Structure 1
Amino acid sequence: MERLLVFPRSFPDESLYSLAVRYHRLTANDSYRQTSQELFGTYSRTCGSILPCCLHGLSKRLAGFYSLAELIDCFTLLPLYQPFLDDAAYEGAKAAMAGNRGTGLKMSLGITASRFLKHASFRYCESCVQDDTQRYGVAYWHRIHLSPGTCVCPHHGEVLRSLTFPHSSDWRCMLLPGESVGTPVMDSYGATAAGTVAEMQLWGLEHPSSVGELLNGGLLKHRMAELGFFKSGRIREKIFRPFLMERLKHGPSTNEFQEITYSCDWVLRMLHPRGSIVQPLKFYLLCWLLELGLCELQSFRPLAKAGNEYVPRRNNTNKTLDDAELESHRSAFLSCSNSKCHDKLGYQWLYRHDREWLNEYVTSHPFLRARESLIDWEARDTALARDLLIANEQIMSMSGKPKKITRSSLVRQIGQTHDFLRRPYKFPKSILLMNGLLESDHDHQIRKVRWAVKHFLLSERCATSVVFRHAGIRKSHMTEAEILNILSTV
């Protein structure tokens, strides 16, 4: 494996793509393909991504100047996602970035499902371009500017600009910020909120372990409890939703924020993730919605750093209780007429002082909630049976060739769905009546032959085949005697 003899010195918060562009110009290569082969040993299609791959080959070519972990932590956006991933997902992402194939990487991190990718672009800050050119002699791509949801520069507070590559090309033309036309990614409305989110994302990118402590310490629930939206382990959704909707009106309404600011349902799903990966943008935007800023995130200290273990309230178990006092509270509890244990007199006292006896009582006296039916099924059954009789008469009196009376024809005639057929125990009279109304093939053919004889004026001299042809019968379920009897009675 060839070793790279030259490689540019990295700048603060520089992305891997920016290093590749500067290497491309340093070596004066003709195309990105040549640059990719020299850097990664293969044609990498992810060099311009926020989560590039083929990093193991690059680390080897640098002869240990940058380890694989340093390349991932210092030049990609994976540290931004690290606090929201479990160990298996994080190790899997690192393995994908080290290898030559990154298929499914963004999907596994929930980025594809978030629909943020369709708003992704190469963004830069004009003030950063000027400062970097003056300080380092060249502008470069900042990682934080490329992160989903960063529309305002966290250093200068300016709205970022999206670079348009010339001649409908893409990032493989190897440009640096400001070298092509750039358009603002959003208007000034909501820039304050976007700037706060950008500052928190920059801090989260640089301090993933601190963000992990916030998540483990229950920052969001702690803040919701302070605002009165979280009580007794439950979210007070009736007052929480209006608060969120009012705050969202003042939030950014363009780019990635379009996917999440139209509704607050994602907030409740994020508070109960159920195994899904939380996107960093959603976490930091929720922090802003809860009136949290970077200072509050940095100063937050969880009450119990040892873990998320539940610490129960201390009971007065050491207190010596008089038998008479116990008996009086038990008697008052038993004599109470309320059916619910929690509503009985003295429940709280027994819970604190005589919990073992209370548990035995609750176990032996389970509360069975009486559920009254809100639907009068008998009345429905009677009405349905009446409708079935009317439908049967309507089908029998239809003009033209007789129509067979089946379940489907009856249901279509009464204008109801087949739902009552799936619940026969709710409609016993209707089901019994319907079974009696259904017409067999034999009875249906009898009606069709009578109709054909009357409609076409057939006589006894007609052959059976002629009668069947006029009646539309292919396979007979009738006897010759029955046909002759019908012909003779007309």
Structure 2
Amino acid sequence: MMNVLPQIYSDELLYSVLSRYKRMCGMQSRRAFLEDVYGESKMLTSIFFPQYLERFRENLPPYSKITVDELIWNHTMFPFYTAFLSKERSDLIYSMMVNGCGKSIENLVGFSGGKVKPYNRLRYCPRCYSEDMDEFGESFWRRFHQVPGVLYCLKHETLLKSTIVPSTEKYADYWCADVDVCNDVEDDTYDERFMELNRAYIQNTMFLMDGDYQKKELPDTVDFYVDRLREKGLASANGFIYTKNFVHQFLQFYPSHYLSLMQSNVDESQQANWLRLFVRNNAKNRSPLRHLLVLQFLGISAEEFFYDQSILGRITARVNHVPSFDLEDRRNAWLKIIETNPGLNRSQLKEIGKGLHTWIYKHDRNWYDQVTPRVRARKKRSPVIDWAKRDEECLALAKQAVESLLNREGKPIRVLPATIRQEIGVRRWLDNRKLVRTRQFIKEATEDINSYRIRKIRWAIGELEAEGVNMTVYKVQLYAGFGGNNREITELIRQLFILEV
């Protein structure tokens, strides 16, 4: 059982709380840490969707009154990513977080198949970080800063910065929001129009994160969009959407570069762009980010969307169509098109005989399926990878990355598999088992915590010497970023002072 729990800050990710707890207890072993928190070490750890929360709650100190429901709604990304999902799927995800399932929840919310991806590094606001350090003596990871599409800190209107901390790995390590990773300064900015658009997006996001909304199922959501498009003159009285005008006005409302930042580019010439498909009743994944973009374009807040129950949607009329052409004539004409265009697939044949295709497909479907060929282009075989050559190339990159990390100016960065990948600019594929020499080198080059501490201390000593400061153990400890209360570090600095002298 855990004997103590750090203060949980407003909007703090549970991952951040656990990272601070791990540092507070001075734990180095990930296995021991997970056993201390959950009672078991072999499990997935997700930054956005932690599991086994009931087990975690039972392991909390007796005085703790925090509930699983409070953890999920106030300290995970659950309320944002499930806002537009069905109640059935949302309840399933909630249950998986409470009881655990051993499988990744991210796939259920659309991370794998969706085009809108979460930021793959944790982000922070430099101004919030400075204020936290002044007020609390430490900082923490805020949920709101990790929401895709949130470009600014609303409180300070400061551009959010990325760190080296990966956010979507299945077996994430526990990194605190400290000076080792939050060392960027505010400099970049966007123009006022971008800020204006993003402020409105952020306000809607804040409503979702509060979790104070009533579920709408997908058919009701689509009908709601149809109603609002009808009000803007972008749909007929029956609910037929004037797609071309809709897409055109959407692109006039949002600058193209802004849509690119929001991972939502729209190609006006593409028949199946995401905006055209968004307002159709289909099972395609819809990111909450894109829901908020469409609502903002329609001039509707997230709160209005969830509480407006007056939905009309499309109005369908049943009409019994009687063929007005001779069936045999139509069949012969379609067979002629197939005969004179061998090798073409159904889509290509449809383009040649548009009206005829529509008639045959509607009134004589079985015959159409029997006579119309299905031609599929063969997929090109992927080239065989020369893994020995790939291993040699990756090894060279890894060596360069380690050398760069060790010789970089400024506060040292610990040499870890994650920081090596970050330095190269690649993801976890560098850990492929076939990259034997690369994996072995990274394993050997990985810096243990004690070596990293010594390197930081020597760096701090060198910096203070260059500044002409009268050095003490305490000053070195603070300058290196260890704080002043870690006795183990204090003793290590004393030993280094003796060796250096």
| Preserved contact between residue 159 and residue 184 of structure 1 (Cα < 8 Å) | yes
Tell me whether 1:265 sits opposite 2:267 in the alignment: no
Which one-letter code corresponds to 1:245 in the other structure? L
- Which moved further from structure 2: 184-193 or 131-140? 184-193
Matches within 5 A, 1:3-14: 3-14=1-12
Matches within 5 A, 1:417-432: 417=343
Distance 1:259 1:185 in 2: 25
In 2 relative to 1, CA 289–378 (structure 1 residues): closer, same or farther, beyond 3 Å? closer
Secondary structure, aligned partner of 1:245: helix
Distance 2:150 2:107 in 1: 20
Which one-letter code corresponds to 1:176 in the other structure? A
Residue 192 of structure 1: aligned partner: 196
Task: Please say which structure displays the higher CA radius of gyration.
Answer: 1
Distance 2:254 2:177 in 1: 35
Residue 291 of structure 2: aligned partner: 283
Residue 18 of structure 2: aligned partner: 20
Distance 2:213 2:345 in 1: 55
CA RMSD of aligned residues (A): 4.4
Residue 143 of structure 2: aligned partner: 143
Residue 248 of structure 2: aligned partner: 242
Which one-letter code corresponds to 1:152 in the other structure? Y
Residue 124 of structure 1 and its aligned partner are, at CA, apart by: 0.6
Distance 1:183 1:368 in 2: 71
Residue 377 of structure 1 and its aligned partner are, at CA, apart by: 4.6
1:453-478 deviations in Å (ceiling 9; x for gaps): xxxxxxxxxxxxxxxxxxxxxxxxxx
Residue 56 of structure 1: aligned partner: 54
Secondary structure, aligned partner of 1:163: strand
| Preserved contact between residue 85 and residue 277 of structure 1 (Cα < 8 Å) | no
Distance 2:37 2:111 in 1: 27
Distance 1:371 1:208 in 2: 60
Secondary structure, aligned partner of 1:106: coil
Tell me whether 1:205 sits opposite 2:213 in the alignment: no
Aligned-pair identity (%)? 18
| Preserved contact between residue 57 and residue 68 of structure 2 (Cα < 8 Å) | yes
Which one-letter code corresponds to 1:33 in the other structure? R
Distance 2:218 2:345 in 1: 51
In 2 relative to 1, CA 40–377 (structure 1 residues): closer, same or farther, beyond 3 Å? same
Structure 2 residues not aligned, in runs of 5+: 347-366, 369-501
Residue 78 of structure 1 and its aligned partner are, at CA, apart by: 0.7
Which one-letter code corresponds to 1:67 in the other structure? T
Which one-letter code corresponds to 1:267 in the other structure? L
Residue 51 of structure 1 and its aligned partner are, at CA, apart by: 1.0
Distance 1:93 1:65 in 2: 23
Residue 145 of structure 1 and its aligned partner are, at CA, apart by: 0.9
1:8-57 deviations in Å (ceiling 9; x for gaps): 12111110111011111221222443322211222366545211122121
1:58-91 deviations in Å (ceiling 9; x for gaps): 1111256322222211211111133322232122
In 2 relative to 1, CA 183–138 (structure 1 residues): closer, same or farther, beyond 3 Å? closer
| Preserved contact between residue 24 and residue 32 of structure 1 (Cα < 8 Å) | no
Which one-letter code corresponds to 1:149 in the other structure? G
Residue 378 of structure 1 and its aligned partner are, at CA, apart by: 11
In 2 relative to 1, CA 259–236 (structure 1 residues): closer, same or farther, beyond 3 Å? closer
Residue 349 of structure 1: aligned partner: none
In 2 relative to 1, CA 7–226 (structure 1 residues): closer, same or farther, beyond 3 Å? same
| Preserved contact between residue 118 and residue 148 of structure 2 (Cα < 8 Å) | no
Residue 131 of structure 1: aligned partner: 131
Residue 387 of structure 2: aligned partner: none
| Preserved contact between residue 8 and residue 22 of structure 1 (Cα < 8 Å) | yes
In 2 relative to 1, CA 159–374 (structure 1 residues): closer, same or farther, beyond 3 Å? farther
Q: How many residues align?
A: 334
Q: Return the structure number with greater relative CO, CA threshold 8 A, min gap 6.
A: 2
Residue 225 of structure 1: aligned partner: 230
1:174-201 deviations in Å (ceiling 9; x for gaps): 2215542448898625343333322211
Tell me whether 1:175 sits opposite 2:180 in the alignment: no
In 2 relative to 1, CA 231–266 (structure 1 residues): closer, same or farther, beyond 3 Å? same
| Preserved contact between residue 126 and residue 185 of structure 2 (Cα < 8 Å) | no
Secondary structure, aligned partner of 1:209: coil
Residue 158 of structure 1 and its aligned partner are, at CA, apart by: 1.9
| Preserved contact between residue 116 and residue 259 of structure 1 (Cα < 8 Å) | yes
Secondary structure, aligned partner of 1:71: helix
Tell me whether 1:90 sits opposite 2:90 in the alignment: yes
Secondary structure, aligned partner of 1:230: coil
TM-score, normalised with respect to structure 2: 0.56
Secondary structure, aligned partner of 1:235: coil
Distance 1:202 1:79 in 2: 10
| Preserved contact between residue 164 and residue 182 of structure 1 (Cα < 8 Å) | no
In 2 relative to 1, CA 126–281 (structure 1 residues): closer, same or farther, beyond 3 Å? same
Distance 1:196 1:378 in 2: 53
| Preserved contact between residue 161 and residue 185 of structure 1 (Cα < 8 Å) | no
| Preserved contact between residue 213 and residue 306 of structure 2 (Cα < 8 Å) | no
Which one-letter code corresponds to 1:154 in the other structure? L
Residue 281 of structure 1 and its aligned partner are, at CA, apart by: 0.8
Residue 39 of structure 1: aligned partner: 37
Distance 2:112 2:275 in 1: 19
Residue 228 of structure 1 and its aligned partner are, at CA, apart by: 1.2
| Preserved contact between residue 123 and residue 145 of structure 1 (Cα < 8 Å) | yes
